[in-house]
Amino acid sequence: MTNDNGEQRAPRISVIGTGYLGATHAAAMAEMGFEVIGVDTDPNKVDALSQGIVPFYEPGLPELLRKHVGTGQLRFTTDIEAATAFADVHFVCVGTPQQSTSFAANLSYVEDATRQVAKHLTHDGLIVGKSTVPVGTAARLRGIVHENLPAGVTAELVWNPEFLREGKAVQDTLAPDRLVLGGTTAASEAMLRTVYAEPIANGTPVLVMDLPTAELVKVSANAFLATKISFINAISEVCAAVGADVTLLADALGHDVRIGRQFLNAGLGFGGGCLPKDIRALMHRSSELGAHSASDLLQQVDEINMRQRQLVIDHALAACGGSVLNRRIGVLGAAFKPDTDDVRDSPALNVAAALQLRGAQVTVFDPQATTSAARIFPALGYADSAATAIQGADVVLVLTEWPEFVDADPREFAALVKAQNIVDGRNCLDGQAWAAAGWNVRTIGRAPVQSASAASASQGAYAFA
């Protein structure tokens, strides 16, 4: 790359789509020293980002954004024509949500973004797909690029999937655990190695492969993680039946290096904007391809995951004597996991809404996601603190394992509620400590723990849950 004076310069980067993935990727590329322009069709989002305001919660991202917007290293625009004229490498980071009528991914956004980049190229460029797509998509996008390129301009389309964890996205972009480059030529691989020179120099491995394999890496990784979660939740049912402790079991399993401890936490199950829609898209695509073993497995994974929500609802019903009609329920947690305000397909909100439909008076609090939750479920009650949410409650549900809930003082909470019943939907509380403070504790795949007074009254007769 050369500047107007014929001097060598670093490649310039455009990022198409400035949602969770795109905004993070754009800020991280600027942090790595590149001039970056982010593109979005939403002018309100562009205005916010241009002022250094992140429209969602992600630790570390606001600081990174303000730093590079302030220096001019990072800019945002709605003008894709100007962005493609400016940049040499174009990262496509738009969403691929589930279709409204099937489990298939909606690819209209990624197709349109690719088409717009190709159409407006003024010089040779590299188009890099980062969106999570069904296998076979990239080959079709190459056809779209070919059909829309201006005369005399060449462009290559390759795939470089993302592996971001919400709550740790900045770290995962600046220091990824692997870089997957799919469908590259020698020239495009060299360009991407230039773009990622910093993490590569710091030891990040680079895996070069064909397009279909690269497309499958992200969805397969998500499917495997989802399977681990559903596996331990299925085993928790066995533990409940025999009085075993699924958390201790998971600890023991986790010492096996072939298995590992991560994603072996029994509880309410997975949610969010990635795992549910990605496993369903893979299920749909596998069925289309006749790979029925994969689609059948993922169907079971999905069903087990959804059953966990009903199990928590059943615990709440049991704690209230079989009915939640006109009972006060305090729900702690709305985000699908801590360190994010993402409430897409949140199991916590699904449970809260289901209990409200059964006649309960439900009040929700989340340290970051209360506002996001209220936009999607406006009929639920919301509080500005955990104490307000559980005031006068007949049962408290811990549905997102935020540290402030895990570390809460059970004696302080006891003074606020009407009845000391708590459902630990994430198996994150010290049940013995809560029971010692007078609480009746219900969990997933572990024996419920009664307060001393309740245990005495029932003479120890207490069924495993």
- Residues designated as active site: 274
- Pick from 226, 322, 242, 233: nearest CA to 280: 226
CB atoms within 10 A of CB 148: 16
Mark 182-215 as b/e (b = at least 16 C-beta within 10 Å): bbbeeebeebbeebbeebbeeeeeeeebebebbb
DSSP characters for 142-195? HHHHHHHPPTT--EEEEE----PPTTSHHHHHHS-S-EEEES--HHHHHHHHHH
HSE value, Cβ hemisphere, 13 Å, CA-based, for 61: 27
* Alpha-helix runs per DSSP H in 74-136: 80-86, 108-120
- Pick from 225, 234, 233, 299: nearest CA to 259: 225
Instruction: Answer for the pair 38, 23: CB distance below 8 angstroms, yes or no.
Output: yes
State the Cα–Cα distance between residues 388 and 17, nearest whole angstrom. Answer: 38
CB atoms within 10 A of CB 272: 19
Instruction: Answer for the pair 411, 387: CB distance below 8 angstroms, yes or no.
Output: no
Residues 6+ apart with CB under 8 A from 75: 36, 37, 38, 50, 69
Residues 6+ apart with CB under 8 A from 172: 163, 164, 165
State the Cα–Cα distance between residues 149 and 121, nearest whole angstrom. Answer: 7
319 vs 16, 293, 383, CA distance in Å? 49, 40, 22
- Pick from 327, 345, 323: nearest CA to 336: 345
Instruction: Answer for the pair 97, 105: CB distance below 8 angstroms, yes or no.
Output: yes
Longest dimension (CA), the chain: 88
State the Cα–Cα distance between residues 193 and 423, nearest whole angstrom. Answer: 49
State the Cα–Cα distance between residues 15 and 42, nearest whole angstrom. Answer: 14
